[in-house]
Amino acid sequence: MSNAQLAWNAMKQRECFTVTEIANTANMDVENCRHLVKRLLKKGFIEIKNGIGVQGSPYVYAVKASNDSPTFGRGGHPGREIKQSGRTGHQLIWNALRINLTVTPKLAQAVTNCSLTSIRRYLLALERTGYVRCHRIDNRQAPADKIGQEHCYRLIRSTGPKAPILRIKPAGVYDQNNRQFYAYSEAK
């Protein structure tokens, strides 16, 4: 972990801080620390709480209540971490799963207006990557006895509000919530 990251962690742990305090905690040069603090202030991660910025009354800073973190070092490229907008059929199916916990393809069709083929394909992909567990009906039953019965998909890994995205190469599912890729072969 770089000094800047150590300093940022130290800032987050305190209610308020001065440049010198952080420099001492992160074992950093005071001037470098001052540059870091100015950069964070400019980008809006921290704010001035007190002080006038002169000897004897230095600026007192505090980390803003936010979950955003600054990036340190070279910026990474998004690569396969590309996200989807929320208005997709898969998002609607995912919503139905999160709210109902157990869905059948027909229920999902009623609340999403997606095609049954698309719903089944998505649910199967989720099953193969361990998001849902399928309770299949007994196909040996007479057709009359199967009325009202359907394969049920139970959500067993709810990672957040964003729907996992299907990936073709490599085959699997990319989770936008925890930024992890689950390959089909890894499913248990």
Partner 1 sequence: MKHKIVEVKNVVRTQVMFENLQTRSMITPGIGLIHGPSGYGKTTTVTHMFNELTLSGHQPLYVRCFATDSPSSFLARVMSELGAEPMFPLRKMVDYIVRSMNEHSLALFVDEADHIVSQAKTMETIRDLYDSTEQPVVLIGMEEIARRISHRKQLFNRISEWVEFQAADLEDVHMFAETLLDERVKVGEDMLDFIRTKSTGEVRRILIALEKIERAAIASEEHYIDLSTWGDRQLFLSHRR
Question: Which residues are near partner 1 by CB under 8 A?
Answer: 65-67, 86-87, 91-92, 95-96, 98-100, 106-107, 109-113, 143-144, 147-148, 160-162, 177
Which CB, 57 or 177, lies closer to partner 1? Answer: 177
Which CB, 38 or 179, lies closer to partner 1? Answer: 179
Report H helices in 3-88. Answer: 3-13, 19-25, 30-42
Which CB, 55 or 66, lies closer to partner 1? Answer: 66
Which CB, 32 or 95, lies closer to partner 1? Answer: 95
CB neighbour list of residue 155: distance below 8 Å, 6 or more residues apart: 97, 98, 101, 102, 131, 132
- Closest approach of partner 1 to the CB of residue 81, in Å: 13
- Closest approach of partner 1 to the CB of residue 69, in Å: 10
- Closest approach of partner 1 to the CB of residue 112, in Å: 6
| Nearest Cα to Cα of residue 131 among 81, 178, 168 | 178
| Nearest Cα to Cα of residue 64 among 92, 88, 44, 85 | 44
